[in-house]
C-alpha cells in the first residue's frame, strides 16, 4: 500500500469531525493498509488517524511496544486517573509538549471486516488512543493545553 503524506496542523481537514464508516469493503481495507504503511514509514510513530492523510472517516491505526491494530468507528472510555507526559503529533513534526491525559483507556470499535474489537490500554498506548480518537473528532492535542501554552505551541509551529 502507498505511503500517504501527512496533513499539517493548518489543514482544515484536521478540524472536521470524521464521518462514521458504513461500508466494510475493499476500499476500507485499502485505507487501513495505507494508514498502516504510512505509520510504519517513519521512526517513532505510534498512531495515525484517517483525517491526517486527508480522509474524513473514523478510522485509526496504532503500533506501540509490540501492540498494533486498527479501529473503525471507535468509542473510547477513559479512567479518572490522569498523568502528564510529553506528547507529539505527526501533523506538527518535531514538537513535543507536556499534556495531561487519562492513564487508562478502553476503546471499542470494529475491525476492517466489521468484527467487534476492544482495546484496553495503559500508559502510552492509552495516550495514543485518546490522541487518535481526538483527531476523529476534529480536536488537536494543542486544544487540551492551557491558553498560554497553546499560544506558545502555535507560535512554535508557525
* Neighbouring-strand partners of residue 68: 63
Q: How much is the pLDDT for 156?
A: 87
Cα dist from 126 to 5, 19, 47, whole Å: 25, 23, 11
**132 given a catalytic annotation:** yes
Q: Of 77, 100, 132, 151, which one is the catalytic site residue? A: 132
**Nearest residue to 53 (alpha-carbon basis) of 71, 38, 69, 33:** 38
Q: How much is the pLDDT for 42?
A: 87
Q: What is the C-alpha to C-alpha distance for residues 102 and 35, in angstroms, rounded to an integer?
A: 25
| C-alpha grid cell, residue 90 | 505527526
Task: Tell me which residues of the chain have a pLDDT lower than 50.
Answer: none
Which H/E stretch holds residue 132? helix 123-136
| pTM, to two decimals | 0.95
Q: How much is the pLDDT for 1?
A: 66
Cα dist from 13 to 17, 89, 104, 113, whole Å: 8, 15, 28, 26
Residue 119 backbone dihedrals phi, psi, to 5 degrees: -120, 120
Amino acid at each position: 500500500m502507498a505511503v500517504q503524506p501527512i496533513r499539517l496542523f493548518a489543514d482544515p481537514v484536521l478540524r472536521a469531525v470524521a464521518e462514521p464508516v458504513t461500508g466494510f469493503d475493499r476500499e476500507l481495507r485499502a485505507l487501513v493498509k495505507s494508514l498502516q504503511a504510512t505509520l510504519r514509514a517513519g521512526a517513532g510513530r505510534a498512531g495515525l488517524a484517517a483525517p491526517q492523510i486527508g480522509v474524513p472517516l473514523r478510522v485509526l491505526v496504532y503500533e506501540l511496544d509490540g501492540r498494533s491494530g486498527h479501529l473503525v468507528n471507535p468509542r473510547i472510555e477513559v479512567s479518572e486517573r490522569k498523568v502528564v507526559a510529553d506528547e507529539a503529533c505527526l501533523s506538527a513534526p518535531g514538537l513535543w509538549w507536556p499534556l495531561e491525559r487519562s492513564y487508562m483507556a478502553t476503546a471499542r470499535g470494529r475491525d476492517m471486516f466489521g468484527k467487534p474489537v476492544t482495546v484496553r490500554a495503559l500508559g502510552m498506548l492509552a495516550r495514543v488512543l485518546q490522541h487518535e480518537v481526538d483527531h476523529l473528532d476534529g480536536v488537536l492535542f494543542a486544544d487540551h493545553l492551557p491558553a498560554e501554552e497553546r499560544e506558545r505551541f502555535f507560535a512554535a509551529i508557525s
